[in-house]
Amino acid sequence: MDMDQTSLVTEYPQVKDLMSEHPIFWRNPDYGQQAELPFSQADIFDAVARWERFAPYLATVFPETAKMKGIIESPLIRLDQMQAAWENMYHQNLAGKLYLKADSQLPISGSIKSRGGIYEVLKFAEQVAMRHTDLAYMDDYRVLATEKYRRLFAKYGVIVASTGNLALSVGIVAATFGFKTTVYMSHDARQWKKDKLRANGVTVKEFDTDFSHVIPQAREDAQKDPYCHFVDDEGSTTLFLGYAVAAVRLQKQLKDQHIKVDRKHPVLVYLPAGVGGSPSGVTFGLKMILGPYVHAVFCEPTHVPSVTLGMMTGLNNHISVYDIGLDGLTAADGLAVGRPSRLAGKVMRTLLFGSVTFQDDDIYRNVAQLMDTQQIVVEPSAAAGFTAIAPVIKNVPAFNSENATHIVWATGGNMMPESERLANYQKGESLIK
Domain containing 322 — which CATH number? 3.40.50.1100
Check whether residue 20 and residue 133 sit in a common domain.
no
CB 325 within 8 A of CB 20: no
Q: Which of 164, 197, 245, 200 is nearest to 411 (CA)?
A: 164
**288 assigned to some structural domain:** yes
Please report, rounded to a whole number, the percentage of residues in the chain having pLDDT higher than 70.
99
Q: Domain residues for 186? A: 112-236
Residues 337, 350: one domain? yes
- Mean pLDDT, the chain, rounded, equals 96
pLDDT tier at 2, thresholds 50, 70, 90: low
How far apart (Å, rounded) are the C-alpha atoms in residues 14 and 18? 7
Side-chain-side CA neighbours of 248 within 13 Å: the count stands at 19
User: Residue 218 domain-assigned?
Assistant: yes
45, part of any domain:
no
pTM of full prediction above 0.95: yes
**Pair (139, 253) in one structural domain:** no
296: helix, strand or coil: strand
Average pLDDT for residues 70-86, to the nearest whole number? 98
Residues 128 and 269 in one domain: no
In a domain, 229, yes or no: yes
Residues 188 and 286 both lie in one domain: no
Count of beta carbons in the 10 Å neighbourhood of residue 10: 10
Structural domain ending residue among the three candidates 236, 260, 277? 236
Torsion of CA 388, 394, 399, 403, to 10 degrees: 100
CB 304 within 8 A of CB 273: no
- Cα separation, 385 vs 13, in Å, equals 24
- Is the distance from CB of 111 to CB of 165 less than 8 angstroms? yes
pLDDT higher than threshold 60 for residue 416: yes
Is 100 among the domain residues? yes
Which pLDDT value is given to residue 279?
A: 98
265 and 353 together in one domain: yes
Q: Please identify, among 198, 216, 236, the residue that sits at the C-terminal boundary of a domain.
A: 236
pLDDT tens for residues 166-222?
A: 999 999 999 999 999 999 998 888 899 999 999 999 999 999 988 888 999 999 999
Same structural domain for residues 268 and 170?
Answer: no
Where among 236, 264, 282 does a domain terminate? 236
- Reference 339, options 163, 121, 117; nearest CA is 163
- Examine residue 257 and state whether it is found in any structural domain, yes or no: yes
- Is 305 a residue whose pLDDT tops 70? yes
Asked if pLDDT for residue 300 goes beyond 70, the answer is yes
Domain count, the chain: 2
Is residue 225 situated within a structural domain? yes
Residues in the chain: 433
- Please report whether residue 49 resides in a domain: no
